[in-house]
Amino acid sequence: MIRKIIKIDQEKCNGCGACAEACHEGAIEMVNGKAVLTREDYCDGLGDCLPACPTNAITFEEREAPAYNETAVLAAKQKKNPVKLPCGCPGTNSKSIKRETAVCSSTAAPGNVASQLMQWPVQIKLVPVNAPYFDGANLLIAADCTAYAYGNFHNEFIRNRITLVGCPKLDEGDYAEKLTQIIANNDIKSVTIVRMEVPCCGGIENAAKRALMASGKFIPWQVVTISTDGRKLE
């Protein structure tokens, strides 16, 4: 497949090893004192290694390369560091968040806008399919940029909803299968899809719509589009 992948200029490389340390996937190794992309299928093409290089020896290129293999990367990490907490990563532990009062931004103290988030985690890929907070939930499926672009996002969208976020442009794979499982296996009351106006953001809308259809359920749903300058488009 043709995809974006890093390129290392061997003449510019000074062998410092900073890029190999910055590459969380383990795609770069030091060979004979130089940085080498030894596993193309480990390179996700996001370029965490670029800012680490002091000589600017690393750039992006688009060429024929194997697809990023997240499963192989995770297996390699597990093999390298087998010791882990019994419960897994603490950041992925599923939990509900109880709010004593639903404080609106308009009534909150100046500079103290209350969070309306009702659960953790929020990333589509991390959230458990059968988490108890899905029971009777009004579901929010949002492109992650929307929360940054729209100032009243917490009070208007997150409030009283279970929130799932993702970026179809950067995340590997399709959300539709997992969203279908969430909707089909839980008592979801409604679905609100919030996306940016940019074309690539249509991926999260399409995935949510396909999930609704595949679930076999008739659930009220709506799509809200946010402009890049932070307006809600009608």
pLDDT in tens, 131-157: 899 999 999 999 999 999 999 999 999
Distance in angstroms (rounded) separating the CA atoms of residues 38 and 155: 47
Pairing label, strands 190-196, 221-226: parallel
> Which phi-psi region, left, alpha or beta, contains residue 160 (left: φ > 0; alpha: ψ -120 to 50)?
left
139 or 96, which is more confident: 139
pLDDT in tens, 165-206: 999 888 877 899 999 999 999 999 999 999 999 998 999 999
Task: Give pTM, 2 decimals.
Answer: 0.60
